[in-house]
Amino acid sequence: MASFSKIITKTDTEKRLSVPIKFLESLPPFHGGHAVDFQAKDENAEVWTFQCSTRKKGRYKKPVLSKGWRAFASRKKLKLGDRIEFYEARNQTTDESPPFYGVRVEREIKLLGSRISYAPLLSAIKPS
């Protein structure tokens, strides 16, 4: 299972989320291209579509999530210092099933200006 967690930066909240190159191994194949779409389910079972892209040229791939990321960041009201985690888990039915992705957000908790912990960000359930 591949996963990564990251403390949110200003660029992450305003433009795109840079991801570790190791995370590319867990994504669907790029098939020679420089971008791939994948879906991830959040803590409220809402499915989000993201696009992970890499540089077309150059020595370093520098993967980022762009498409879908700003909508996610806005909806979750991500702030500087929050933590995000993407993870992959195989479907329980068969090893040949496509991977399942999840995304979790944790809000930074401060006491007297110092970070003391993180708490899961749970969106309010919408009334029916």
Tokens 């803590």 found at: 43
DSSP state of 21: G
- What integer pLDDT is reported at residue 25 of this predicted model? 85
pLDDT one-digit tens code per residue, 34-44: 899 999 999 88
pLDDT tier for residue 5 given thresholds of 50, 70 and 90 = very high
- What integer pLDDT is reported at residue 16 of this predicted model? 93
Burial status of residue 80 (CB atoms within 10 A of its CB: 0-12, 13-18, 19 or more): exposed
Domains of the chain with CATH codes: 3-120 (2.40.330.10)
pLDDT tops 60 at residue 1: no
